[in-house]
Chain A
Amino acid sequence: MKMPKPDAGVIARRKQIVGALRDIVPGEGVIEEVDELRAYECDGLTAYRELPLIVVLPRTVEQVSRVLAYCLANDIKVVPRGAGTSLSGGALPLADAVTLGLGKFNRILDIDYDNRCVVAQTGVTNLAITEAVEHKGFYYAPDPSSQIACTIGGNVAENSGGVHCLKYGLTANNLLGLQVVLMDGQVIRLGGKHVGADGYDLMGVLTGSEGLLGVITEVTVRILTKPETARAFLLGFATTEAAAHCVADIISAGIIPGGMEMMDRLAIHAAEDFVHAGYPRDAEALLIVELDGHEAEVDYLIGRVRRIAEDNGAASVRISADEDERLLFWAGRKAAFPAIGRISPDYYCMDGTIPRGRLPEVLTGIAELSKRFGLRVANVFHAGDGNLHPLILYDANIPGELEKAEEFGAEILKLCVKVGGVLTGEHGVGVEKRDLMGVMFNEDDLKHQQRLKCAFDPKSLLNPGKMFPILHRCAELGRVHIHRGRTRHPDLPRF
């Protein structure tokens, strides 16, 4: 992975920069010792590591603003960081960049039940928001699997999903307001405690922008009333085609389950060996279908889903009898990644999304690639919304095997794009998929994305080297080219 060439001039000024940052963030908020910097050298994509130039941990919005203004004035790159759980290298440090850690922004500022929202500082964890309101029967819907550690600001930066986003939406759909510090130190507020703000949807644009547009310091999210009841089906199928067909039939019947997950044989076995959830070992594909909501609705839908499953030849049909059993059904799915970790020294998690109906052919394609690369793959799949998580099993101690796994992963993503899907459903582009952007977008598509970047950060100092394979200068992107030869078109209908 090629990163932008570190700026030797900035590295040479390191001592001076440390001094300036200490003036802004006094005390222990500036880290320069190598031993301490080591804790920040990577994020959840551990294959890539780099020591940051300096880490700064501001405590106030004003400090964030002054740090950014200083860095802009002195041409210093900045890498924003929440909990560092990104799976795509979004928070990977750069040797010539200040890593701006937001861990000290860890307070919930306001819980407003009447307006059904929570205002939290950016470094509050996803789960902490639910924990703060669940005694009143509320929760925050998006539930990425790292929710115990990942921060709400990071969720905004990545537009995180989770198993319940089929019915309850992604981060973008559960966000009401943001406070953001721009690269020039200006502080803006978007949205508020309400929906329906007018103006450009810059909150929508910042969501999923991977720390390239601004530094989020405060987030207002909507909270929902906890569903009265939730029950889960465990459905075993003899073929993945039958399972995929069952998913399509459930959706066609007008049913949007709270969650709908699929696992293939290797994932079923690994999870079952690990947590003993009672998964059917003879199944080629397992579906977990969760129905939640009002009791009368759940009871009614259970009958309908059962019939659809049976019509699709489900070999085993179980419905959770109580809350413990429902959680047990989920325990296997939620432990799928560590379960794979038990049967392979390393694994590489992919994140493409495909149109649901193309699943059987994509799984066949992945199986063929698995043979070609000589690496095993386990498939875990948010079946309801088409988000695939193939886990490629490899051993980093065997020379060349990591590269082979990466190449295999890239082929899977290209296959996803080929069938009408996308490179990443919820993990982000980061450094990991940066060089694949050209598979999905042409030059003009990417230039328009970068023009948005130019509006926010014209000197491209925020999180450079992520998301875009080639960085154009904003001055060059700003030129207006009037395309010669496109003059008058007399044949254009006019009125």
Chain B
Amino acid sequence: MTPGTPEEVLDAVAEALAEGTPLEILGAGTKRNYGRPAEAGRRLSLSRLAGITLYEPNELVMTARPGTPLAEIEANLDRNGQQLAFEPADYGAVLKGAEDRDKTGGATIGGIFACNLSGPRRIAAGAARDHILGVKAVSGRAEAFKSGGRVVKNVTGYDMSKLLTGSFGTLAVMTEVTFKVLPAPDDSRTVVIPGLDDRAALDAMTKALTGPWEVTAAAHLPKPLAQRSWVARIAGANAATILRLEGPAPSVAARAKGLGEGLAGFGTVGELAHADTRALWREIRDVHPLVSPSALGPGCEVWRIAAPPSEATAITGRIAGNLRTQAFYDWGGGLIWLAIGALDDMAATKRAAIVRAAIGEAGGHGTLIRADAETRRTVPVFQPEPEALAGLTRRVKENFDPKGILNAGRMYAGV
């Protein structure tokens, strides 16, 4: 079904509820393979429920229907020198297993909020959940409701907009989202330190992020992955630790100089200008170093691990001791992108157990982003929750979708 109005969404959900037919909720379907395979008898596509309904640049706010293409939103923002500061990633290449860079794009704003996407600027500007202001939705009870509003400061009632952000369509079908937009920086530069091993890179990133330079992104590409960059200076580097600065040009220049001096102890520091900076961080955002082409062959699994930054190299070290892996670091080490080569003689559940045990010691969250459908059905895709929390998650689901008709089982078995 492809409803074109919020009323038609309500009708479609009411019909599914009456029949007991579970629905798979889709935008453009670019992230269908993200999460567990949903149990569905019918598809509900929001691709026709599209369009920007409000954009007030002076108020830093936009409202859009869920099926609005991200490209349309970004084009409108760009005309006003604005952006989505949370820098939503495009997982197209990761999820589709694309071997070429053309199989990306097409994401919708609803999908971006449903999956709570973010990007390298996460450490400075937050994720989708930090930018959503209000939502209109239809719950699994076939009732329309709204939450939040269009202003940044709002504590009127529970923040249900955050609840729906990152809920993968398992609680309600969004029919409208209102979110914060922010000025895009005039200029950007990337400070590059070549040749560091992972541990030294982590120290360099920590130093950069605890100094006065207002670094808006910090990542490290170990040697084999740096060579896959399309930015020549990075491809030629023997590993690259990269630190982004954004803002007015005079500020960026002064901060880059200060940061370079501050990190001189780590080696010879170089700089990338605005155009290369944009290209490079898009690669990091979209996980291209691991997947385009696949670092470990087409059958590799890809994990996204969020953990305390100081634990990053310990986690990757523990996993590498047991599996054939490649990894790079974003968020100053707080995000690890890890690929595991296909090992015919080891069960997927065993591989996952090794990864989760390595994260568990550090207190982090591991999400299996890319794997075949069978693996995603048998291995917990999202970080397994302790029983008290899992019980709460189930009760939230039951209260919003008691008959389990919305993306059933997409996040956890039964949720």
Residue ranges of A at the interface with B (Cβ–Cβ < 8 Å): 112-116, 137-138, 158-159, 161, 165-166, 169-170, 172-173, 182, 186-190, 192-202, 204-205, 207-209, 213, 225-228, 248, 251-252, 254-256, 293-297, 299-301, 353-357, 382, 385-387, 420-429, 433, 437, 440-441, 444-449, 451-456, 467, 477-478, 480-483, 486-489, 492-495
Contacts of B355 in A (CB 8 A): none
Q: Contact mask B143-176 → A, CB, 8 Å, 1/0?
A: 1111101111111111110110111000100000
Residue from the set B171, B309, B367, B383 with the largest chain A CB neighbour count within 10 Å:
B309
> With A296-B253, A357-B58, A444-B144 in contact, is A199–B385 under 8 Å at CB?
yes
Which residues from A are CB-within-8-Å of B163?
200-202, 204-205, 452
Could you tell me if B58 and A445 are in contact, using CB atoms closer than 8 angstroms? Answer: no
Give every chain A residue within 8 A of B11 (Cβ-Cβ): 486, 489, 492
Closest CB-CB distance, B115 to chain A, in whole Å?
Answer: 10
Determine if B151 and A385 form an interchain contact, defined as CB atoms under 8 angstroms apart. Answer: yes
Q: Decide yes or no whether B363 CB sits under 8 A from chain A.
A: yes
Residues of chain A within 8 A (CB-CB) of B150 are: 355, 420
Shortest beta-carbon distance from A368 to chain B in Å: 23
> A423 — which chain B residues lie within 8 A by C-beta?
156
Contacts of A444 in B (CB 8 A): 143-145
Residues of B within 8 A of A446 (CB): 157
A102 to B389, CA, bound (A): 23
Q: Report how far A448 CA is from B172 CA in the complex, Å.
A: 11
Let me know if B313 is at the binding interface, CB within 8 A.
no
- Given A254-B183, A489-B15, A493-B2, A452-B392 contact (CB < 8 Å): no
Pick the 10 closest A-B CB pairs, nearest first: A204-B162, A254-B183, A297-B251, A296-B254, A196-B306, A425-B153, A455-B395, A186-B388, A451-B399, A486-B14
Partner of B166, one of A193, A201, A300, A440: A201
Q: Does B214 contact A (CB under 8 A)?
A: yes
Q: Are A195 and B153 in contact (CB under 8 A)?
A: no
Do B154 and A425 touch across chains, with their CB atoms under 8 A apart?
A: yes
When distances are taken between beta carbons in the complex, the residues of chain B under 8 Å from A197 are 306, 365, 383
Contact flag A426-B155 (CB < 8 Å), given A294-B214, A455-B396? yes
Chain B residues, Cβ within 8 Å of A193: 308, 363
A489 touches B12 (CB 8 A): yes
> Are A301 and B166 in contact (CB-based, < 8 A)?
no
In Å, the complex CA distance between A455 and B398 comes to 8
By a CB distance below 8 angstroms, the chain B residues around A483 are 14, 142
B212 interface hit (Cβ, 8 Å):
yes
Query: B118-126, B220-228, B371-379: which one contacts chain A?
Result: B118-126
B195 at the interface (CB under 8 A from A): no
Residues of B within 8 A of A (CB): 1-4, 8, 10-12, 14-15, 17-18, 43, 45, 48, 56-61, 81-82, 116, 118, 122-123, 126-127, 129-130, 139, 141-147, 149-160, 162-163, 165-167, 171, 182-184, 186, 206, 209-214, 247-248, 250-251, 253-255, 258, 304, 306-310, 331, 334-335, 363-365, 367, 382-383, 385-386, 388-389, 391-393, 395-396, 398-400, 402-403, 411
Query: Which B residues are in CB contact (< 8 Å) with A449?
Result: 147, 157-158, 160
Judging by beta carbons under 8 Å apart, are B306 and A195 in contact? yes
In the assembled complex, the Cα of A357 lies from the Cα of B61 at a distance in Å of 12
Q: List 16 A-B contacts (CB under 8 A).
A: A115-B309, A190-B389, A195-B123, A201-B129, A225-B212, A252-B58, A296-B254, A425-B155, A429-B157, A433-B156, A482-B14, A482-B17, A489-B11, A489-B12, A492-B12, A493-B4
Q: For residue B151, which residues in chain A have a CB less than 8 angstroms away from its CB? A: 353-355, 385-387, 420-422, 425
A425 neighbours in B (Cβ, 8 Å): 151, 153-155
A280 to B15, CA, bound (A): 64
On whether the beta carbons of A201 and B165 are closer than 8 Å, the reply is yes
Residues of chain A within 8 A of B45, CB atoms compared = 495
A451 near B400 with CB under 8 A, answer: yes
B327 smallest CB distance to A (angstroms): 16
Which of B149, B159, B171 gathers most chain A CB within 10 Å? B159
* Cα separation A472 to B396 with both chains bound (whole Å): 17
- A200-B167, A486-B15 given; A424·B127 CB < 8 A: no
Whether A494 and B155, one on each chain, are in contact in the complex, defined by CB atoms closer than 8 angstroms, is no
Residue of A nearest to B131 (CB): A173
- B183 close to A447 (CB less than 8 A): no
Among A114, A300, A429, A437, max chain B CB count under 10 A is at: A114
Which residues of chain B are near A297, meaning CB under 8 Å? Answer: 214, 247-248, 250-251, 254-255
B17 adjacent to A480 (CB under 8 Å): yes
Interface centre among B17, B145, B307 (most CB of A within 10 A): B145
A424 pairs with B306, CB closer than 8 A: no
Report chain B residues within 8 Å CB of A138. Answer: 210
Cα(A173)–Cα(B129), bound, Å: 9
B65 to chain A, nearest CB (A): 15
* Cα distance, A252 to B59, chains bound together (Å): 9
Q: Chain A residues near B2: list those with CB within 8 A.
A: 492-495
A441 to B2, CA, bound (A): 28
Given A195-B331, A254-B81, also A173-B126 (CB < 8 A) = yes
A248, B250: Cβ atoms under 8 Å?
A: no
Tell me the bound Cα distance from A441 to B154 in angstroms. 14
Q: How far is the CB of A387 from chain B (nearest CB, A)?
A: 4
User: Which among A187, A208, A447, A454 has the highest number of chain B CB atoms within 10 Å?
Assistant: A208
A329→B399 CA distance, assembly (Å): 50
Known: A254-B81, A385-B151. A448 touches B143 (CB 8 A): yes
Of chain A, the residue at the smallest CB distance from B207 is A114
**Do the beta carbons of A228 and B212 come within 8 Å of each other?**
yes
B309 to A194, Cβ gap below 8 A? yes
Given known A-B contacts A255-B183, A353-B153, A428-B155, A194 and B210 have beta carbons under 8 A apart = no
- A residues within 8 A CB of B82? 254
Contact B149 A422 (CB under 8 A): yes
CB <8 Å contact, A188 and B126 = no
User: Contact: B153 with A165, CB < 8 Å?
Assistant: yes
CA distance A446 to B157 in the complex (A): 9
* A66 nearest CB across to chain B (Å): 15
Given contact pairs A186-B388, A297-B250, A482 touches B18 in the complex (Cβ within 8 A): yes
- Bound-complex Cα distance A401 to B131 (A): 41
A441 to B331, CA, bound (A): 38
Q: A445-B146, A452-B396 are in contact. Are A293 and B251 (CB under 8 A)?
A: yes
Nearest B residue (CB) for A416 = B151
Q: Contact: B18 with A487, CB < 8 Å? A: yes
Q: How far is the CA of A494 from the CA of B165 in the complex (A)?
A: 27
Interface-central residue, B149, B253, B393, by most chain A CB under 10 Å:
B149
Q: Which residues of A contact B184 (CB under 8 A)?
A: 254
Distance of A299 Cα from B248 Cα, bound (Å)? 11
Please, which residue of chain A has its CB at the minimum distance from the CB of B306? A196
- The answer to whether A205 and B153 have CB atoms under 8 Å apart is no
Is the beta-carbon distance between B153 and A426 smaller than 8 angstroms?
yes
Max chain A CB contacts within 10 Å: which of B157, B166, B382? B157
Whole-angstrom CA separation of A441 from B147 in the bound complex: 8
Residues of B contacting A169 in the complex (Cβ-Cβ under 8 angstroms): 126, 130
Does B155 contact A159, Cβ atoms closer than 8 Å? yes
**A165 to B130 CA separation, bound complex (whole angstroms):** 12
List A contacts of B386 (CB < 8 A).
188-189
Q: Are A114 and B142 also in contact (CB < 8 A) when A198-B166, A205-B159 are?
A: no
Q: Given A199-B385, A482-B17, A486-B142 in contact, is the A422-B156 Cβ separation under 8 Å?
A: yes
**CB of A178 to closest CB in B, whole Å:** 11
* Cα separation A449 to B145 with both chains bound (whole Å): 9
Instruction: Compute how far the CA of A226 lies from the CA of B211 in the bound complex, rounded to whole angstroms.
Output: 9
Other 14 A-B pairs with CB < 8 A, given A202-B389, A297-B255, A387-B151: A113-B210, A199-B411, A202-B392, A226-B212, A252-B57, A254-B186, A353-B149, A357-B59, A426-B155, A444-B143, A452-B399, A453-B158, A478-B399, A486-B142
